[in-house]
Amino acid sequence: MTRITSRIKNVRQRLVDAACDCGRDPAQVALLAVSKTRPVEDIQSAMEAGLTCFGENYLQEALPKIEALSGEKISWHFIGPVQSNKTRDLAAHFDWVQSVDRLKVATRLSAQRSSSATPLNVCVQVNIDAEPQKAGVLPDDAELLCQAVSKLPQLRLRGLMIIPAASDDIEKQYSSFMAARQLFDQIRANGLPLDTLSMGMSGDLEAAVRAGSSMVRIGTDIFGPRP
Ligand SMILES: *Cc1c(COP(=O)(O)O)cnc(C)c1O
């Protein structure tokens, strides 16, 4: 077994354990492999272990990888900060953009997504702990942005993406994730059919699953520490 294969096995086991601990079905939590800074060969190893969804943060780094793997059945997720002058490439080459945090970016992505392609899947990124330096819409503004994004023709609003304040304290992690979960439930109750709550990384996947995550984004614990 390669190191990546055995790390993936570990992550899958953690997901199963975390889901079972709180009575959830592990199949309801998707695993997104965050391949930023990693070469194509590492992505291929992860594919051999059965992974099909990969997340990238930097457009210039991602494009050659997407090109090199263009024959493969991969779903590419953009999870980094979106600059408005990059939306055309994002709309053309990615299946998902999880880091939409303002209407201007969403409007551009919709306008630039080819009308012959399926709509681009998007999540609204929420700055759940209202950290001053962090990307994402503030929790109080999230629902309005979701309503606006949901009306754009070439986008399919799937849900929310969350990066909480960094903490080693599992109860702190959990309370941020629960705030996100409540926001998610509220937006759904008000009529938007969201199906994706993207939260949980290498250091906090257990707390995220307990709070109802439907997609964890794992880099370090699959590919090893980043350079
Ligand atoms: C890098 C990154 C991850 C993965 O983080 P790890 O701690 O390496 O698992 C997840 N989500 C986003 C948005 C990231 O930028």
Ligand 1 mean position, distance from CA 34 (Å): 6
Would you say residue 127 has pLDDT above 90? Answer: yes
Query: What's the whole-model pTM score?
Result: 0.98
| 59-100 per-position pLDDT tens digit | 999 999 999 999 999 999 999 999 999 999 999 999 999 999
pLDDT value at residue 39:
97
Question: What is the distance between the alpha carbons of residues 183 and 179, in angstroms, rounded to a whole number?
Answer: 6
Would you say residue 2 has pLDDT above 90? Answer: no
Q: Is there a contact between 178 and 144 (Cβ–Cβ < 8 Å)? A: no
Across all residues in the chain, what is the average pLDDT? 98
Ligand 1 mean position, distance from CA 215 (Å): 12
Contacts of 1 (CB under 8 A, 6+ apart): 9
| 28-43 per-position pLDDT tens digit | 999 999 999 999 999 9
What angle do helix axes 59-68 and 40-48 make, rounded to 10 degrees? 60
Instruction: Give the rounded percent of residues in the chain with a pLDDT score beyond 90.
Output: 99
- Ligand 1, residue 57: give the atom nearest the CA: 15
Mean pLDDT score, 182-189: 98
**Residues enclosing ligand 1, CB less than 6 A?**
34, 36, 57, 79, 163, 201-203, 217-221
Q: Is there a contact between 167 and 173 (Cβ–Cβ < 8 Å)? A: yes
